Amino acid sequence: MSMKIQRIRKKIINDEAIVSVKEMGNTYEICWCEHKNNKAPIQKIDKDYYLITATGEVKQCKHIKNRYQSKAQLSQSFKRLRELINTNVTNINNCRWLTLTYREYMTDTKQAYLDFDKFMKRLRYRYGNIEYINVCEPQGNGRWHFHCLIIFPTKAPYIPNDEITEIWRHGFTKTQKLSGQIDNLGAYLSAHISDVKLGEAETLGLKYELEDIKKVDKMDGKKLRQPKYFIKGARLDLYPPGFNLYRTSKGIKKPNKEYMSYKEAKEKIGMDQPTYSKSVQITDSNGQFSNKITYEHYNTRRRKKHKKIQNTSKYDATKNKKYHNGDKVSKNTFFLSHKRIITQIKQISSKIYRLCVKIGKCLKLLYKKRE
């Protein structure tokens, strides 16, 4: 049975409705379901068979050829990765982002993880207790390399990249200090891992849809001269079936999840408007089952910005209610869009002014030559 997931207009949640609240460091997720299932519909017997608890039937599992065929499973894996990063990194100054590559052609993932375990032992011997979230990433030519987020208990010390290369011992490394402008580190890093440049995706022959193309104007908090185009999630097609996308150290905490009323959840978070929200409708191929789910994400790092916008006299909540792609836009959208327009006008005006100054200088030079 296949399930269809469709984006719908945002559903308004009743204050007394029971929702799940997932706390992940500085971010929260509220989830509301129209219908709740308190019993597991299936029970796994082994890797090849499962039991349908309602009827007692035993059915055979359908194994996928590559990970890209199971988009729901992959999206859940990357969602868990984002949640782990946000839960364990509340201060971005306490972590470093490492890229570890091989000088030789490494395709054995078991050996690669053994090499990584030895690397972490040597790194901990030199710098003490460090937690990590490690992602093994495939390249188009079959090679593997690591992306690793290392987390210190306090402010991360300065570590020269040459020192990381010496501790790694297998090839090239890159050590990065993450930008303080990133307020959702989990989303930023998971996109960095799974997305592929448009040109690279076409060279590798990876499948993608037009809506998967993402335009990037900024990287690491800096504006790019020319925008870059990426295919969202295209690298997932390179992972073999059953491969673990990430591994973590024992000290990595899991998100805290609890159930309460919607009103209590909003009081716990302390924000009136979500940073991001969406509603989806899930239906089966036979049309016998349907459920509506609403997700609301709150980023407490943006709490001050929200209060500043909501308290401004320029915003009138009664006049500026708008909708976009079926979802209700939050109170922030109206004011922020005008703020961006004003910023763009200032930038264009400054460019025109500089151009006029250059033209004036050129005219003066021409006038002097004629004299």
User: DSSP secondary structure string, 24-51?
Assistant: ETTEEEEEEESS---S-SEEE-SSSEEE
d(Cα 30, Cα 12) in Å, to the nearest integer? 13
SS3 190: helix
Residue 22's pLDDT is: 94
Q: What separation, in Å, do the N-terminal and C-terminal C-alpha atoms of the chain show?
A: 86
Lowest mean pLDDT among 29-43, 154-168, 204-218: 204-218
Phi, psi dihedrals of residue 360, rounded to the nearest 5°: -60, -40
- Is the pLDDT confidence value at 65 over 80? no
CA neighbor of 101 nearest in space, from 126, 130, 138: 138
Give the pLDDT band of residue 214 (cuts 50, 70, 90).
confident
Residue in 189, 205, 210 with CA at minimum distance from that of residue 238: 205
* Range with top average pLDDT, 6-20, 24-38, 131-145, 254-268: 254-268
Q: Is residue 99 exposed (0-12), middle (13-18) or buried (19+ Cβ within 10 Å)?
A: middle
97-106, 246-255, 311-320, range with the lowest pLDDT? 311-320
For residues 9-32, average pLDDT: 90
pLDDT, greater one: 254 or 181: 254
The one-letter amino acid code at 336 reads L
Whose CA is closest to 270, among 296, 303, 294? 303
Rounded CA gap, 78 and 96, in Å?
A: 20
Mean pLDDT lowest among 48-52, 155-159, 185-189, 345-349: 48-52
pLDDT tens per residue across span 326-350: 434 444 444 444 556 777 787 788 7
Tokens of 269: 């978070």
Looking at residue 76, what is its pLDDT? 77
Structure confidence at residue 312 (pLDDT): 43
Q: Give percent of the chain above pLDDT 70.
A: 65
pLDDT band at 35 (very low <50, low <70, confident <90, very high): confident
Coil, strand or helix at 349: helix
**pLDDT(242) > 50:** yes
Using alpha carbons, list the distances in angstroms from residue 90 to 26, 182, 247, 292: 6, 12, 20, 32
- In this model, does residue 317 exceed pLDDT 90? no
The mean of the pLDDT values for the chain is 76
Residue with tokens 């264009």: 348
At the top level of CATH, the class of 67-248 is alpha beta
281: Cα within 13 Å, side-chain hemisphere: 12
Q: How many CB atoms lie within 10 A of CB 368?
A: 8
| Pairwise CA distance, residues 106 & 170, whole Å | 10
